[in-house]
Structure 1
Amino acid sequence: MKIKLFLLFSFGLSLNLFGQNNDTQKKFEQELHSYFRSGDLKKQEIVNSETKDKIFKLFLDNSFVGYAILASAKGRMDTFDFVIIYNSQKEIKLVKVLVYRSQHGQEITNKNWLKQFYKNTVQFVYGKDIQAISGATLSAKSITEKINTLNFVVSEISTF
């Protein structure tokens, strides 16, 4: 009985710490449908060996429109989940934090701060290209580094 409880607890903890749960997945789906307001949106998952994040090719009415990534990054104490939407030219069009679990560093969820990533830049430098945030230094650096990694991964994907 103790082993079953331990395994159940460990599995639940691993979902919260190392991956997205169903609530995060629902928020991801809602964000995609909110961004692409009309048409038949379809996702095709891309096998990704570089990160544990989920990368999708997006098709709207059977036409390729870009990529979406459901990603996680580590803040000071907890992980947080976010979405990135790229257009077909692999430019970032949206970054949104879906779930921020920590009580500190929530400033990175600000839409205006996240708009700094909407550039045609492969590598962002925190404190130069991306404004530093007092009180959210670790989370801000973490999301910047993760976006840099994902920009590289997306740049390496062949369009078809």
Structure 2
Amino acid sequence: MKKILLITIVLTLSIGLNAQNSDVHKKFEKELATYFNQKKVEITELINNQSTDKFYKLIIDEKFYGYSVLASAKGRYELFDFMIIYNDQKKIEYINILIYRSQYGQEITNKNWLKQFYKKVKLFVYGRDIQALSGATFSAESITNKINKLNEILIEII
């Protein structure tokens, strides 16, 4: 009986995670279409690993545009999902928080705050290069660190 209960719980959790990942990916694709004004957007996954962070090559109207990343970071209590669009010079053009699950720290979803990362590929220091946010310290520092890691991977590996 315990085995059946355990199997049921595991299956329920895995189905829920797959549905959640599917929702995030749908939002990612919709946001790409919106950002590129409904032009023909092709994405090709570049690094196929078990990580939740996915790197894509972007082809817009059959021309190489740059890269996009679909990633997750941890706020104080919960994960949040975001995307980054890089141009062909690997500079950040756009960041959007796709799903923010926590009640706290939503200030990082502010488009003006996210613009601090644009047109740069460097090591960002939270509180110096990136404005600190009252009420969103964990999330803001987390996304800053995650963007640093993603930039490093993009520059060194891709």
Asked whether 1:129 is paired with 2:129, we answer yes
Mark the runs of 5 or more structure 1 residues left unpaired by the alignment.
none
Q: How many residues align?
A: 155
Structure 2: gaps of 5 or more residues: none
Q: Deviations over 1:29-63 (max 9, x none)?
A: 01101111143211110115595301100011221
SS of the residue aligned with 2:44?
strand
Identical residues among aligned pairs (%): 55
Report the RMSD for the aligned CA atoms in angstroms. Answer: 2.0
Q: Is contact 2:80-2:99 (8 Å) kept?
A: yes
1:43 paired to 2:43: yes
From the superposition, tell whether residues 51 and 149 of structure 1 become closer, same or farther in structure 2 (CA, over 3 Å).
Answer: farther
Match of 2:116 in 1: 116
Query: Is 1:144 the counterpart of 2:144 in the alignment?
Result: yes
Counterpart selection for 2:13 from 2, 10, 13: 10
Distance 1:153 1:48 in 2: 13
Which residue of 1 is the match for residue 85 of structure 2? 85
TM-score w.r.t. length of structure 2: 0.90
Which stretches of structure 1, 4 residues or more, deviate above 3 A after TM superposition? Answer: 48-52
Question: Match for 2:7: what amino acid?
Answer: K
| 1: CA distance, partners of 2:9 / 2:141 | 34
- Matching residue of 2:154: 154
Q: Tell me: CA distance 1:49–1:125, structure 2 relative to 1, closer, same or farther (3 Å).
A: farther
Deviations 1:77-107 (A, max 9, x none): 0000000000011010001100000000000
Change (3 A) 1:21 1:52: closer
Residue 3 of structure 1: how far off its partner (Å): 2.6
Amino acid at match of 2:115: K
1:94 matched to which residue of 2? Answer: 94
